């Protein structure tokens, strides 16, 4: 009886350990507290939906894993959320993981970068141009909250103001920088003068198609 009990206990331990490890490979349990940002796939809330790049769960897969799932990106918590066995889970934040969506083939990766003030940051970025000899292009989507100065019983009941920021970033030999609005500051980051390239090609640093063209020119 003792042998049977020990064997059973050992089996349960191995099984539990295996389950935890498998889950940790691609996700960890969501630890959201306070106001819930969770929406069911078909629910649309005009306020909460602003926290998401897309409130609907879309089919995607982690490169290297055959099994896909449905994900959505929360710009406030910087998490790719998915549901498994009734639980809301978050994709692990690891630079070795690349998440690719089926519907538009967009690819996201958790990467280190420098913001316009030179501060070190880490966040999920969409890869626009990658695998090039020297320069690459990325895009970020971030949601922040600030005090709502216009709160009024007749106009607004929200205590927080939701701010949405979309930025482009440039990778230079593996080091990623947020693209500044000033051409002079961009010259400093690139260590070359791109002002003539921007003027002659009539490029707008706020437009993705123009930034793609700039990267293609720089990589020639």
DSSP letter for each residue of 96-150 = T-EEEETTT--EEEEEEEE-TT--EEEEEEEEEE-S-SSEEEEEEEEEEEEE-TT
Say what the pLDDT of residue 217 is. Answer: 94
Say what the pLDDT of residue 128 is. Answer: 97
Of 41 and 81, more confident: 81
- Identity of the highest mean pLDDT range in 5-14, 37-46, 64-73: 64-73
Say what the pLDDT of residue 139 is. Answer: 98
**What's the CA gap between 149 and 133, in Å, rounded?**
48
Q: Is the pLDDT of residue 13 over 70?
A: no
- Percent of the chain predicted with pLDDT > 70: 74
| DSSP bridge pairs for 112 | 122
pTM exceeds cut of 0.85? no
Q: Is the pLDDT of residue 82 over 80?
A: yes
| DSSP bridge pairs for 113 | 121
106: left (phi over 0), alpha (psi -120 to 50) or beta: beta
Q: What is the DSSP letter of 134?
A: S
Q: Mean per-residue pLDDT for 93-122?
A: 95
Say what the pLDDT of residue 44 is. Answer: 56
The ranges assigned to domains in the chain are 1-93, 106-220
Q: Is the pLDDT of residue 8 over 90?
A: no
Q: Is the pLDDT of residue 42 over 80?
A: no
Tokens 């420098």 — which residue?
114
In the chain the first and final C-alpha atoms are separated, in Å, by 74
| Long-range contacts from 116-123, C-beta under 8 angstroms, 24+ separation | 116/178, 116/180, 116/185, 122/93, 123/78
Q: Is 72 helix (H, G, I), strand (E, B) or coil?
A: strand
- Let me know: does 58 contact 101? Beta carbons within 8 Å: yes
Q: Mean per-residue pLDDT for 129-140?
A: 89
| pLDDT tens digit sequence for 139-180 | 999 999 888 776 554 444 466 788 999 999 999 998 999 999
Say what the pLDDT of residue 23 is. Answer: 42
């Amino acid at each position: 009886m003792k042998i049977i009990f020990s064997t059973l206990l050992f089996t349960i331990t191995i099984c539990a350990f295996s389950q935890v490890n498998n889950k940790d490979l691609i996700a960890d349990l969501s630890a959201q507290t306070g106001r819930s940002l969770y929406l069911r796939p078909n629910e649309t809330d005009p306020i909460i939906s602003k926290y998401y790049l897309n409130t609907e769960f879309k089919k995607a897969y982690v490169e290297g894993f055959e099994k896909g799932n449905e994900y959505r990106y929360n710009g406030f918590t910087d998490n790719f959320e998915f549901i498994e066995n009734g639980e809301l889970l978050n994709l692990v934040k690891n630079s070795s993981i690349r998440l690719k969506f089926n519907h538009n083939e967009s690819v996201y990766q958790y990467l280190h970068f420098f913001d316009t003030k030179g501060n070190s940051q880490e966040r999920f970025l969409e890869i626009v141009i990658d695998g090039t000899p020297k320069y690459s292009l990325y895009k970020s989507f971030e949601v922040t909250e600030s005090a709502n100065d216009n709160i009024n019983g007749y106009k607004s009941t929200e205590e927080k103001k939701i701010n949405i920021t979309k930025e482009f970033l440039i990778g230079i030999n593996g080091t990623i920088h947020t693209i500044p609005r000033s051409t002079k500051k961009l010259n400093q980051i690139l260590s070359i003068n791109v002002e003539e390239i921007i003027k002659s090609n009539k490029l707008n640093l706020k437009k993705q198609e123009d930034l793609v063209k700039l990267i293609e020119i720089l990589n020639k």
